[in-house]
């Protein structure tokens, strides 16, 4: 039994009995439409319209109140005025109703008064042991049983059909848009949930409830505000165990979009970088729009996503091959190099002017030599280099045996077990392949996008399953004190204790100590004032670089003393550090996100860190190989690999440092708010690197800093 699952919500997704509080005769009202749907879509359980003023509603016996019901229903639809909702929740508790789907509006979506009304409602429900979907929810629909407790008009317009897909959305509109698109493609949908204000049972917990159904293969989510990522991680984990997949559209990634989302739901704004890192970490595919949410669903239904790279394209048009090659390369999806034996076999099958290479061009000879299609597919399927197949059918008509091609393709996919899709602009061609069970797409880019997503998602899921928390290293204590920041010396000392290589340096309390340090670390040193109150030393003229004489060191000491005194701060001394030189500077940062936990950012360093925004983010825990893989996403990755005869940059030290920073911050999550390590100067491969400056910020201490 999964401890995250709530049996009350599970019963609400597959109820035996449903009450509708506020049931009305008019099927175009919120309290009338679910009742209409329950009858229309053949719900076989008990339906209890609650309406004290009428003996029947929509031809069914009505009850005056919940406590008058002959049996406790699993769920109550609440479609009453906002002021009456709390009374209904009391009745739900009294009658033993597990879940209330609150369609009533006038809560968190309507300003301060509504927000406090909503908080009181949730507190009441939790106290009484009633789970809430909503308020302001469009509701829950189960098209397997006909338990359609949802007031969308869409189900009158677009006929439902049961299928292995769940759509769980915070928005009503964003729940029915993917529904309409999937139904148009002939894909069935079992659950459709729009959770509205998401006040008690969140969109993530509702998705978990759907994912617990062993027949659900794809969970589609629309999220504007992610409040409980741990629950979402559990959705992904539970789905992955069964080979089901989670695809989520997290909207509000743009500045305007986030503003609109906040205005729409009044909810928190997520840091989009964290969302990306979190989804990737847990093997959740992030769709960019509603089309992206549904585009690959048929491919997922054909087989769970898995790591599979190399694509073979086959068509009777050279242009389709060119278009597919362009689309694949744009996504980094490799085309398979056909094995020599397969090329030879193809040469025997295809006409002399056809192309025995990938993309495979059967040419219009397909019309006169229909057998070529199956023969070529057979030869290609035997190639161990080929992982996935795209068959382009740009045109058909008289002379083309489309039904036969569809049959051959379905047979091929089933016998080879390799994902095989078809792209065709003609609806009639797509229908023939769809009828044979082959995933179909309207054009090449959609098909390639889907194949890329499927295989890349497979990789993410595999990585998420493998990933284990690094063994907890012994964690050094933070120095005592309650200044908001640790001084540079204290910060570097702490980094040193967790194994991060720091620049050779010493904290010097007087000029003579500084000169002695210069003699130790010279000939060239850097002198910096050390004060926990002044993290931005450069801006205050407190950093002196390239010092090579005793006099320069003494001058620097004097300048630090004078300037810090002029700022009315105290100084711990000056840091005298060796002037180290490497191949590349990095900046590493750690933040504690209240939702997502410890996140480590690794950025190209130097003066323009913020302006160029060339960084990657990793959620802790992660290991060194995770960092090395992510560093390939940096724009400067080609440089790091070594160009123009240069040796590669020592990325191992970057990876080790990132892991050590993450572990340190995670272990002190309640005491370390952030770490800025900038720069980490890194040498060539094997030379290591040096943390040259660092600032550690304590958690919960907020004095002014300068």
Scan residues 149-188 and list those touching its own copies (CB under 8 A): 152-154, 156-158, 169-174, 176-178, 180-181, 184
Phi-psi region of 224 (alpha: psi -120 to 50; beta: other; left: phi over 0): alpha
Helix (H, G, I), strand (E, B) or coil at 326: helix
* Nearest residue (CB) to its own copies, 238 versus 640: 640
Cβ at position 169, least distance to its own copies in Å: 8
| In the complex, least distance from residue 557 CB atom to its own copies, rounded to whole angstroms | 28
User: Is residue 541 at the binding interface for its own copies, with CB under 8 A as the rule?
Assistant: no
Task: List C-alpha distances in Å: 638 to 70, 631, 649, 684.
Answer: 72, 10, 10, 14
What is the closest distance, in whole angstroms, from the C-beta atom of residue 121 to its own copies in the complex? 17
Interface with its own copies in residues 248-307 (CB under 8 A)? 251-257, 259-261, 263-265, 288-291
What's the min distance (Å) between Cβ of 352 and its own copies? 8
- Residues binding its own copies: what is the number (CB under 8 A)? 95
> Rounded distance, CA 254 to CA 220, Å?
21
Q: Alpha-carbon torsion 148, 4, 241, 220, what sign?
A: positive
- Show the binding pattern over residues 430-469: x = contacts its own copies (CB under 8 A), - = does not: ------------xxxxx-----------------------
Helix (H, G, I), strand (E, B) or coil at 344: helix
CB of 643 to its own copies, least distance (A): 4
Q: Binder to its own copies among 382, 427, 465, 472 (CB under 8 A)?
A: 427
Check: CB of residue 441 under 8 Å from CB of residue 420.
no
CA dihedral 497, 501, 507, 512 (to 10 degrees): 140
Taking contact as CB under 8 A, which single stretch among the options 71-79, 397-405, 548-556, 678-686 is the one that binds its own copies?
397-405
Nearer to its own copies, 483 or 636 (CB): 636
Hey, which residues between 21 and 40 contact its own copies (CB under 8 A)? Answer: 27-28
Interface pick for its own copies out of 3, 340, 353, 466 (rule CB under 8 A): 353
Q: How far is the CB of 608 from its own copies (least distance, A)?
A: 5
Closer by beta carbon to its own copies, 256 or else 480: 256
Nearer to its own copies, 22 or 321 (CB): 321
Taking residues 549 to 588 in sequence order and writing x for each that binds its own copies by CB under 8 A, - otherwise, the string is: ----------------------------------------
Among candidates 396, 384, 329, which has minimal Cα distance to 359? 329
Distance CA 592, CA 590 (A): 7
Stretch 46-85 residues interacting with its own copies (CB under 8 A): none
Minimum CB distance to its own copies, residue 127 (Å): 28
Nearer to its own copies, 260 or 459 (CB): 260
Which of 94/161 has CB closer to its own copies? Answer: 161
| Out of 8, 190, 281, 316, the residue judged to bind its own copies by CB under 8 A | 316
Report the alpha-carbon distance of residue 202 to residue 191 in Å, rounded. Answer: 15
Q: How far is residue 102 from each of residues 33, 149, 465, 480, 651, measured CA to CA in Å?
A: 14, 10, 37, 51, 53
Q: How far apart are CA 33 and CA 254, in angstroms?
A: 36
Dihedral angle over CA of 95, 101, 103, 107, nearest 10: 90
Within residues 376-395, the interface with its own copies by CB under 8 A covers 392, 394-395
CA distance 673 to 165: 41
Q: Residue 260 Cβ, how far from its own copies at the closest point, in Å?
A: 5
DSSP string for 200-231: SS-HHHHHHHHHTSTT--EEEEEESS---HHH
* Spatial contact of 350 and 313, defined as CB atoms under 8 Å apart: no
Near its own copies by CB under 8 A: residue from 229, 304, 321, 439: 321
Sequence-separated contacts (24+) of 647-650 with Cβ below 8 Å: 647/583, 647/684, 647/685, 648/684, 648/685, 649/583, 649/584, 649/682, 649/683, 649/684, 649/685, 650/583, 650/682, 650/683, 650/684, 650/685, 650/686, 650/687, 650/688, 650/689
Specify the residue, 289 or 703, whose C-beta has the smaller distance to its own copies. Answer: 289
Supply 261's token pair. Answer: 């989302």
Shortest approach of its own copies to residue 247 CB, angstroms? 15
Name the residue nearer to its own copies (CB basis): 272 or 550. Answer: 272
Residues facing residue 507 across a β-bridge: 575
If one asks whether residue 470 binds its own copies (CB under 8 A), the answer comes out as no
Q: Which is nearer to its own copies, 287 or 486 (CB)?
A: 287
What's the min distance (Å) between Cβ of 280 and its own copies?
A: 19
CA 471 vs. chain centroid, Å, equals 25
Q: Looking at beta carbons only, is 137 or 244 nearer to its own copies?
A: 137
Ramachandran region, residue 83 (left: φ > 0; alpha: ψ -120 to 50; beta: rest)? alpha
Of 28 and 56, which has the nearer Cβ to its own copies? 28
Rank residues 1 and 643 by Cβ distance to its own copies and give the closer one. 643
Extended beta strands in 320-367, E state: 360-361
Note whether 153 and 52 are within 8 A (CB).
no
The angle that helices 272-282 and 444-466 make with each other, rounded to 10 degrees, is: 70
Applying the rule CB under 8 A, the residues between 635 and 694 that interact with its own copies are: 635-636, 638-639, 643-644
Q: Residue 695 has which token pair?
A: 């600032």
Non-local CB neighbours of 354 within 8 Å, separated by 6+ positions: 360, 361, 362, 363, 365
Which residues share a beta bridge with 696? Answer: 675
Comparing CB distances to its own copies, the nearer of 290 and 349 is 290
Stretch 584-623 residues interacting with its own copies (CB under 8 A): 607-608, 610-612
What is the token pair recorded at 33? 């439409």
Quote the least distance from Cβ 322 to its own copies, whole Å: 4
Interface residue with its own copies, options 79, 221, 314, 328 (CB under 8 A): 328
Kindly state the smallest distance separating residue 137's Cβ from its own copies, in Å: 12
Nearer to its own copies, 73 or 196 (CB): 196
Between 351 and 499, CB nearer to its own copies? 351
Taking CB under 8 A as the criterion, the residue among 186, 188, 370, 425 binding its own copies is 425
Q: Per-residue x/- marks for its own copies, 81-120, CB under 8 A?
A: ------------------------x---xxx---------
- Residue among 45, 96, 318, 501 that touches its own copies (CB under 8 A): 318
Residues paired with residue 616 on neighbouring β-strands, in sequence order: 602
Among 268, 319, 545, 701, which residue sits at the site for its own copies (rule: CB under 8 A)? 319
| Smallest distance, its own copies to C-beta of residue 111, A | 8
509 vs 635, which CB is nearer to its own copies? 635
Name the token pair of 456: 């890349």
Is residue 400 a contact residue for its own copies (CB under 8 A)? yes
User: Residue 107: CB partners within 8 Å, gap ≥ 6?
Assistant: 82, 114, 115, 117, 118, 121, 135, 136, 197, 199
């Amino acid at each position: 039994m999964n401890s995250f699952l709530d049996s009350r919500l599970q019963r609400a997704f597959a109820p035996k009995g449903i009450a509708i509080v506020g049931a009305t005769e008019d099927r175009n009202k919120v309290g009338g439409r679910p009742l209409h749907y329950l009858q229309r879509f053949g719900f076989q359980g008990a339906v209890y319209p609650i309406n004290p003023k009428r003996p029947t509603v929509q031809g069914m016996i009505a009850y005056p109140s919940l406590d008058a019901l002959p049996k406790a229903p699993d769920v109550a639809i609440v479609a009453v005025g906002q002021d009456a909702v709390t009374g209904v929740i009391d009745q739900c508790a009294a009658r033993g109703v597990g879940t209330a789907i609150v369609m009533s509006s006038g809560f968190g979506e309507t300003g301060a008064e509504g927000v406090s009304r909503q908080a009181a409602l949730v507190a009441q429900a939790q106290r009484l042991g009633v789970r809430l979907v909503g308020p302001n929810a469009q509701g829950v629909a189960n098209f397997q049983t006909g338990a359609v407790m949802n007031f969308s008009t869409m189900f009158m317009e677009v006929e439902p059909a049961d299928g292995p897909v769940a759509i769980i959305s915070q928005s009503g509109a964003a729940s029915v848009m993917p529904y309409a698109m999937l139904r148009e493609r002939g894909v069935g949908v079992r659950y459709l949930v729009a959770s509205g204000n998401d006040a008690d049972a969140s969109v993530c917990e509702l998705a978990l409830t759907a994912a617990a159904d062993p027949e659900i293969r794809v969970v589609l989510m629309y999220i504007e505000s992610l409040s409980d990522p741990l629950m979402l991680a559990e959705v992904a984990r539970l789905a992955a165990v069964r080979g089901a997949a989670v695809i989520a559209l997290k909207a509000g990634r743009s500045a305007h979009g986030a503003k609109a989302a906040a205005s729409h739901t009044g909810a928190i704004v997520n840091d989009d970088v964290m969302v990306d890192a979190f989804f990737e970490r847990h093997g959740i595919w992030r769709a960019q729009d509603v089309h992206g949410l549904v585009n690959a669903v048929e491919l997922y239904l054909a087989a769970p996503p898995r790591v599979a790279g190399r694509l073979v394209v086959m068509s009777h048009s050279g242009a389709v091959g060119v278009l597919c090659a362009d689309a694949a390369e744009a996504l980094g999806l490799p085309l398979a190099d056909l094995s020599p034996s397969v090329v030879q076999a193809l040469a025997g099958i295809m006409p002399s002017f056809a192309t025995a290479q990938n993309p495979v061009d059967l040419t219009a000879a397909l019309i006169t030599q229909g057998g070529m299609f199956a023969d070529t597919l057979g030869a290609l399927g035997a190639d161990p280099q080929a992982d996935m197949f795209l068959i382009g059918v740009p045109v058909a008509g008289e002379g083309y045996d489309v039904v036969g091609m569809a049959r051959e393709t379905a047979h091929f996919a089933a016998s080879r077990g390799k994902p095989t899709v078809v792209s065709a602009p003609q609806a009639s061609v797509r229908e023939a392949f769809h009828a044979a069970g082959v995933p179909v797409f309207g054009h090449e880019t959609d098909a390639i996008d889907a194949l890329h997503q499927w295989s890349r998602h497979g990789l993410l899921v595999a990585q998420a399953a493998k990933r284990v928390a690094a063994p907890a290293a012994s964690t050094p204590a933070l120095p005592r004190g309650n200044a908001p920041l640790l001084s540079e010396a204290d910060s570097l000392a702490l980094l040193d204790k967790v194994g991060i290589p720091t620049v050779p340096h010493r904290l010097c309390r007087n000029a003579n100590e500084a000169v002695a340090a210069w003699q130790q670390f010279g000939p060239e040193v850097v002198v910096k004032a050390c004060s926990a109150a002044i993290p931005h030393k450069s801006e205050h003229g407190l950093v002196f670089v390239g010092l090579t004489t005793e006099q320069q060191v003494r001058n620097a000491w004097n300048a630090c003393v004078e300037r810090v005194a002029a700022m009315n701060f105290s100084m711990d001394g000056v840091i005298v550090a060796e002037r180290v030189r490497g191949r590349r500077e990095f900046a590493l940062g750690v933040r504690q996100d209240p939702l997502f936990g410890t996140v480590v950012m690794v950025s190209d360093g130097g003066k323009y860190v913020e302006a160029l925004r060339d960084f990657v983010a990793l959620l802790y825990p992660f290991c060194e190989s995770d960092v090395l893989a992510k560093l390939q996403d940096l724009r400067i990755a080609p440089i790091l690999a070594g160009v123009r005869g240069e040796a590669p940059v020592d990325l191992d030290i970057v990876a080790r440092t990132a892991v050590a920073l993450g572990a340190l911050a995670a272990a002190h999550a309640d005491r370390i708010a952030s770490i800025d390590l900038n720069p980490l100067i890194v040498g060539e491969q094997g030379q290591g690197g040096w943390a040259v400056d660092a600032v550690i910020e304590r958690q919960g201490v907020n004095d002014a800093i300068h």
